Amino acid sequence: MRSIDRAGGAVVGSAVGDALGAPFEFGLPGAYRERFPDGTGEMCGGGWDPGEATDAIALTAR
């Protein structure tokens, strides 16, 4: 695998993780478990539209 492919995968993976975790980023520990007690959740917004990139990824992509 080429280094450029690995770097691109790292950026995409970071963006996905950021979008999924954004609604819980500044919450108290256990906020996800409280909202989704069975461990499965759904895309939800937390000041953003579901799945929308946050400012961290927007700045990285520039």
- How do residues 34-46 score in pLDDT, each as one tens digit? 888 887 877 666 6
Q: Which residue has the tokens 């939800």?
A: 44
How many domains in the chain?
A: 1
Neighbouring CB atoms inside 10 A of 23's CB total 19
pTM: 0.61
Could you give the C-alpha distances from 48 to 15, 33, 35, 38, in angstroms and in order? 14, 20, 17, 24
Please choose, from the candidates 5, 4, 19, 11, the residue with its C-alpha nearest in 3D space to the C-alpha of residue 51.
Answer: 19
**pLDDT (tens digit, 9 = 90+) per residue, 6-20?**
999 988 888 888 877
- Structural domain boundaries, residue 24: 3-60
